[in-house]
Amino acid sequence: MKAKEFYHRLNPTWCKGCGLFGIFDAIKRAAAALDKEPEDLVIVTGIGCHGRLNNYFNAYGFHGLHGRTMPVAMGIKLVNPRLQVVAMSGDGDAYSIGLGHFVHALRKNIGLTYIVSDNRLFALTQGQASPTTDFGTVTLSTPLGSKEFPIDGPSLALAAGGTFIARGFSGEVANLAALIEHGMKHDGFALIDILSPCVTHNKVNTYDWYREHIVHVQDLPGYDPKDRAKAWEALSNTEKLAVGLIYEEAKPSFEELVLPDKERPIASLDLKVDVSRLRKIMDRFR
Amino acid sequence: MIKDLAVMIAGKAGDGVLFTGNVLARLLKRHGWEIVTSRDFPSNIRGESTCYTIRASRDKIYGLSDHVNILLAFDCEAILAHLPEIAEHGIVFCDGQGLTEPLPEQARGKTFHRFALRAFAREQFGQEIFKNTMALGALSYVLDIDTSLVEGIISEMFLKRKGEEVVRKNVEAARFGYEKAREITSETERHPLTRKADEDRILISGDEAIGLGALAAGCRYFAAYPICPASEIWQWLVYYLPDFGGVVVQTEDELAALNMTLGASFAGARAMTSTSGPGASLMMEAFSLAGMAEIPAVIAHVQRLGPATGMPTKSQQGDVLQWIFGSHGEFPRIVLSPGTVGECFDLTVGAFNLAEKYQCPVILLTELDMGQDYRTARAFDFSSVVIDRGKLLSPDQLLGMADFKRYEITPDGISPRALPSWKKGIHLAESLEHDERGYRDEDPLNRRRMMDKRMRKLDHASPDLPGPRTWGCQKAEVGFIGFGSTLGAILEAMEQLRLKGVPSRFLQLRTLWPFPAAEVREFLAESRDVFIVEHNFSGQLATLIKSQVSPCAELKNILNYSTRPFMPREIVEPVLRSRR
């Protein structure tokens, strides 16, 4: 097994105490636990504080546009399904500007691990309301309090046919690493939504606040992540936020369904021009 | 002897105009003639007027003529709409009622026959749908096409999908149509076309030619969102890419289509997307990312009439400047514009090589007229297809390198490329300004060096870019400049002008960006009157020329922003007027 330090490129410059440190650590631990070569790991990030992760992580990376992690990551995965593709977004990236892509990635059940770091606001742009900001919250963009009701990523994922839905807390790195590791092994799309405090702009949803407001699903009597009804019930509790593996289901992955041969990745195809075969195809136009 | 002729099939959407037109075009092609087709369809599945024009010629043609010699209409409304286009001695077949007597003034000199296709089809074959093959039979009589060709094509179309019984009934319907046409028309009304050898040619649309070009060029990943008139590229490739180990993916929108194309290309595929109209606007976002992260990508944009949703089934050239100057920030891009279906194939192959050699987005800019209409072309030469992946390393080369830097600053601005999973190739494709390894870097000096590096990539690209092509008389005073599907109308207009004693020449631009300023400057210097022919309102090419060639001679615009492609006379008339 590799040491987690193997994946460490640079020390991050996030604000001291930022939840992203825990997430960074958890991803490294998960990669180490799976003994991934850094060359076989591609991390696709969006725009926001989380997007700096590529600079700190020793792996192939794609830091694209705001909200567009999903299509980029899908393109990579389909061209080389042997790669471990981990996409990462913030709540703005995933649930605001990238919401459409998120739902369709779930629908396709493509083999990606999607880590969404949710700090309940736009932090990099100094603290505006995001889709997960609580109703009534005063932010830079909502001086009179947010007039929109928040949405919940895991609930959306369950409704959209997600096959691996988990929620972690960046204050519990060991649990989080285990969830990410599990998600990386999942055959299909894995969402790991992470409750992650922003120590600079969010003075309400702090580490302590989360500790008081989370419940681990494994502590719920008779909880079974294969039971959709139980998953709905756990997600419906807005007083106590369900954390852990909320739902899991086996469904064929998109790459399994659409790729002609998973053992011959598109990335390594020989592109030589097959003249006689092409001529035969052209004959249809005669 | 007839050397050139146009047939129009008209009716309401849902009448089978497209089917009948497509089959007749193929018949005439197999009869050995050169073909150009044009379809005029509403953005609607049923009920509104549609027409399909086929021009056939013994000699090579590129565009439509001004007239129609034979009109077969499934309803009479269509006749009135197209009466002015029907040539002297033209012949018209019309199904149904409504051709009122006396006929309008414009009907003089033309023969009209009522031909109750629908009723015959119902009576003889039990279903109206047989009117289409009946119409083909009738036209094959008038045009004197071998029945064996007609029956061969019917069998090809129906045998596999529908079985022998359907073939038999359609063959009978065609024979019935043939006999009926013989009954109702006199020998002198026929337009017999002498058969020619159908040499090594194909009949293909621009969209299909792009699909075939992509397949030959090693495109193995195609992502797109449905949009008229670009979907045909995808709908064609979807049948073939999997057999070549590739995949076609339908995305949720065009934002995803281009981003996914970039992801696929980053991972090592030759990847492509296609779009039109509003889809192109959505792609503007990731277009810039391709420029910044230096990711090869081919984007086929089949232009339709805008702005906004505009008219999705009508052609236009209104999106030229969008790709040349569009998106946020400055980055290198290549914009190609094929003028023939053969060039659709060649330029697509070239686009993939250019994208990888220069590590930038390449736009294949065509129009609905080019994309959806059929034209004959010499069979494509696959043996001349070369795949050049530029500075893409091999895993072994990478291992032998002392220090791999994905965005290494090089004299030509182009850096070595490695793919995920390759040892010693780790890097970041970064949308932020970055250093030579791809990591974020806000240093002002680095910014200048990286910007200079990216922007100089195309400085010496011109030998690799499809150059302008000159048509016509070398010393002519009258010059045309245009691009894309207006080529056909321009060449027709030049022929008409020649017959009127006005020689002319034409500079066909095949690369719109980087702009071929030297060739255009030279052409302008050698011509007395230059007309810029464009299928748009504002003269985007003329604007481009004026911005790139300075000082610039006076340019005259010949513009058409209507729903129909240019007719040759629409180019001839302004030229003659300006010479009075």
CA distance B204 to B248: 21
CB contact under 8 A, A76 and B263: yes
The CA distance from A26 to the nearest CA of chain B, in Å, is 21
Q: How many CB atoms lie within 10 A of CB B58?
A: 16
Q: How many CB atoms lie within 10 A of CB B68?
A: 24
Return the pLDDT at B580.
80
- Domain annotation covers residue B286: yes
Whether residues B183 and B218 share a domain: the answer is: no
CB contact under 8 A, A39 and B252: no
Last-in-domain residue among B380, B399, B421: B380
- Domain of residue B332: give its range: 203-380
Residue B564 DSSP label? S
Whether residues B244 and B264 share a domain: the answer is: yes
Tokens coding A221: 């009597």
Which of A58, A62, A112 should we substitute to test contact with B (largest number of B Cβ atoms within 10 Å)?
A62
Residue B285's domain is classified under what CATH number?
Answer: 3.40.50.970
Ranges of H-type helices in chain A: 19-33, 53-56, 69-79, 91-92, 99-108, 153-159, 173-185, 207-213, 228-236, 254-258, 275-282
- Domain annotation covers residue B385: no
pLDDT digits (tens, 9 = 90+) for B178-191: 999 999 999 999 99
Return the pLDDT at A149.
97
Q: Which candidate from B204, B252, B267 shows the least CB-CB separation from A104?
A: B252
Burial class (CB in 10 A: 0-12, 13-18, 19+), B66: middle
Question: Is the per-residue pLDDT at B99 higher than 70?
Answer: no
Q: Which candidate from A52, A64, A279 shows the least CB-CB separation from B289?
A: A64
Ranges of H-type helices in B424-535: 444-455, 487-499, 517-526
Residue A124's domain is classified under what CATH number?
Answer: 3.40.50.970
Question: Is the per-residue pLDDT at B98 higher than 60?
Answer: no
CB contact under 8 A, B286 and A65: yes
Return the pLDDT at B122.
96
The CA distance from B421 to the nearest CA of chain A, in Å, is 5
CB contact under 8 A, B203 and A80: no
CB contact under 8 A, A286 and B264: no
CB contact under 8 A, B419 and A267: yes
Question: Is the per-residue pLDDT at A150 higher than 80?
Answer: yes
Residues of A in contact with B201 (CB under 8 A): 286
Return the pLDDT at B555.
96
Number of compact structural domains in chain B? 4
Burial class (CB in 10 A: 0-12, 13-18, 19+), B463: exposed
Which of B430, B434, B435 should we substitute to test contact with A (largest number of A Cβ atoms within 10 Å)?
B430
Last-in-domain residue among B180, B199, B218: B199
Residue of A nearest to B28 (CA): A286
Packing angle of the helix pair B147-162, B131-143 (nearest 10 deg): 160
Whether residues B190 and B214 share a domain: the answer is: no
Mean pLDDT of A28-33: 98
- Domain annotation covers residue B454: yes
Q: How many residues does chain A have?
A: 286
Whether residues B350 and B410 share a domain: the answer is: no
Return the pLDDT at B49.
86
Residues of A in contact with B244 (CB under 8 A): 269
Please give the interface size between A and B, counted as residue pairs whose CB atoms are below 8 Å apart.
194
The CA distance from A210 to the nearest CA of chain B, in Å, is 32
Which of B426, B427, B435, B442 should we substitute to test contact with A (largest number of A Cβ atoms within 10 Å)?
B426
Return the pLDDT at B97.
65
Q: Kindly state the helix (H) or strand (E) to which residue B159 belongs, with its residue range.
A: helix B147-162
Number of compact structural domains in chain A? 1
Question: Is the per-residue pLDDT at B124 higher than 70?
Answer: yes
Which of B198, B249, B328 should we substitute to test contact with A (largest number of A Cβ atoms within 10 Å)?
B249
Whether residues B166 and B251 share a domain: the answer is: no
Helix, strand or coil for residue B203? strand
CB contact under 8 A, B246 and A278: no
Helix, strand or coil for residue A167? strand
CA distance A76 to A68: 13
Mean pLDDT over all residues of chain B? 95
Residues of A in contact with B426 (CB under 8 A): 38-39, 58-60
Where residue B170 falls among pLDDT bands split at 50, 70, 90? very high
Return the pLDDT at A194.
98
CA distance B263 to B251: 13
CA distance A174 to A184: 15
- Domain annotation covers residue B217: yes
CB contact under 8 A, B267 and A261: no
Return the pLDDT at B71.
95
CB contact under 8 A, B427 and A62: no
pLDDT digits (tens, 9 = 90+) for B379-393: 999 999 999 999 999
CB contact under 8 A, B430 and A281: no
Whether residues B209 and B337 share a domain: the answer is: yes
pLDDT digits (tens, 9 = 90+) for B296-345: 999 999 999 999 999 999 999 999 999 999 999 999 999 999 999 999 99
Question: Is the per-residue pLDDT at A175 higher than 70?
Answer: yes
Whether residues B500 and B569 share a domain: the answer is: yes
Whether residues B32 and B94 share a domain: the answer is: yes
Tokens coding B224: 């797109």
Whether residues B214 and B278 share a domain: the answer is: yes
pLDDT digits (tens, 9 = 90+) for A249-267: 999 999 999 998 888 999 9
The CA distance from A224 to the nearest CA of chain B, in Å, is 33
Least confident of A177-186, A274-283, B89-98: B89-98
CA distance B225 to B118: 38
The phi-psi region of residue A161 (left if phi > 0; otherwise alpha if psi is between -120 and 50; otherwise beta) is left
- Domain annotation covers residue B163: yes
Residue in the block written with tokens 């992540």:
A225
The CA distance from A33 to the nearest CA of chain B, in Å, is 19
Q: Which residues pair with B483 in a beta bridge?
A: B509
Give the predicted TM-score (pTM) of the model: 0.97
Whether residues B18 and B124 share a domain: the answer is: yes
Q: Which residues pair with A190 in a beta bridge?
A: A113
- Domain annotation covers residue B386: no
- Domain of residue A198: give its range: 4-285
pLDDT digits (tens, 9 = 90+) for A94-104: 999 999 999 99
Return the pLDDT at B109.
84
User: End-to-end alpha-carbon separation of chain A, Å?
Assistant: 60
CA distance B347 to B354: 10
Return the pLDDT at B103.
72
CB contact under 8 A, B212 and A281: yes
Q: Which residues contact A69 (CB under 8 A, 6 or more apart)?
A: A44, A45, A46, A87, A88, A89, A93, A94, A98, A101, A114
Last-in-domain residue among B147, B167, B199: B199
CB contact under 8 A, A278 and B216: yes
Return the pLDDT at B14.
87
Whether residues B442 and B315 share a domain: the answer is: no
Helix, strand or coil for residue B208? helix
Quick check: A160 and A150 in contact, CB under 8 A?
no
Question: Is the per-residue pLDDT at B100 higher than 80?
Answer: no
Residue of B nearest to A99 (CA): B252
CB contact under 8 A, A266 and B385: no
- Domain annotation covers residue B241: yes
Whether residues B490 and B515 share a domain: the answer is: yes
